[in-house]
């Protein structure tokens, strides 16, 4: 489903060339849940940005559903992101002026779906996440856990092929973090969506199908 080959990324700084990723390889199957762990600053978020087409690699190949996304122009990348990739961040990044329901509807409206269709799908997801009573609330009136569950619903509403989650539970207390993680896991398994999650939580990592460690610019699979 996702195939990454020899991915390299570096940045130019006043001090010289800063290497972030070197010959990173990764294969992800449909509906699999992958954890990526590593020290802060090891390049985990950079890797997710490259996989999500939000940044360009210096070299290497990324195939998503046999599409060579490393060769696509920006207009086609934008379409691919909307249709095939969902994002969940440590901060929920909900639009503050929109209600929970409207935030979840937004990706479908961008796809050109009708308001009625988007609303029905969004309400169904909010019900699954036990948020139907919060549908008309703006983000400022939601708890941190509720806002992050809304972000999960927004990420999965288009039934993407892949969800990229960058420390999705990092701002939450332990109990709420566990609830959000379990919901991501259950939703994505039921929908057949693959997940790549960056996390500092060893417990969450051990609950995933596979764990990879990013260290010394390279990605290695951890053996349980």
Angle between helices 144-156 and 115-128 (to 10 degrees): 130
Structural domain boundaries, residue 36:
29-56+74-222
Kindly state whether residue 143 falls inside one of the protein's structural domains.
yes
Question: What's the angle, vertex CA 171, arms to CA 167 and CA 176, rounded to 5?
Answer: 100
Kindly state whether residue 66 falls inside one of the protein's structural domains.
no
Whole-structure pTM value: 0.91
Beta strand residue intervals within the chain, DSSP E:
2-13, 16-28, 33-37, 59-64, 67-68, 85-88, 162-166, 194-198, 210-215, 218-222
| Dist. CA 120–CA 54, nearest whole Å | 30
pLDDT in tens, 125-181: 999 888 999 999 999 999 999 999 999 999 999 989 999 999 998 888 888 889 888
How would you write the pLDDT of the chain (224 residues) with one tens digit per residue? 899 999 999 998 888 889 999 999 999 998 899 999 999 889 999 999 999 999 999 999 999 998 899 888 888 998 898 889 999 988 889 999 999 999 999 999 999 999 999 999 999 999 988 899 999 999 999 999 999 999 999 999 998 999 999 999 888 888 888 988 888 888 778 888 999 999 988 899 999 999 999 999 999 998 76
Kindly state whether residue 187 falls inside one of the protein's structural domains.
yes
Kindly state whether residue 2 falls inside one of the protein's structural domains.
no
* CATH code of 42's domain: 3.40.50.300
User: Count of domains in the chain?
Assistant: 1
């Amino acid at each position: 489903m996702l195939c990454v080959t020899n991915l390299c990324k570096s940045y130019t700084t006043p001090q010289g060339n800063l290497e972030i990723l070197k010959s990173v390889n990764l294969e992800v199957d449909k509906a699999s849940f992958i954890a990526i762990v590593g020290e802060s600053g090891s390049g985990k978020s950079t890797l997710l940005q490259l996989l999500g087409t939000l940044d360009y690699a210096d070299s290497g190949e990324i195939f998503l559903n046999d599409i060579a996304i490393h060769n696509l122009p920006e207009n086609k990348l934008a379409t691919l992101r909307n249709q095939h990739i969902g994002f969940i961040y440590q901060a929920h990044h909900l639009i503050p002026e929109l209600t929970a329901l409207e935030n979840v509807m937004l990706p479908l409206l961008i796809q050109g779906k009708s308001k009625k269709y988007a609303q029905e799908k969004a309400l169904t997801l909010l019900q699954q996440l036990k948020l139907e009573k919060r549908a008309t609330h703006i983000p400022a009136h939601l708890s941190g856990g509720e806002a992050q569950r809304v972000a999960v619903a927004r990420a999965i509403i288009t039934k993407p092929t892949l969800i990229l989650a960058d420390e999705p539970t990092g701002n939450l207390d332990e109990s709420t973090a566990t609830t959000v993680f379990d919901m991501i896991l259950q939703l994505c398994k039921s929908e057949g969506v693959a997940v790549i999650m960056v996390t500092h939580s060893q417990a969450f990592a051990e609950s995933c199908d596979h764990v990879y460690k990013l260290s010394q610019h390279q990605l290695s699979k951890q053996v349980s």
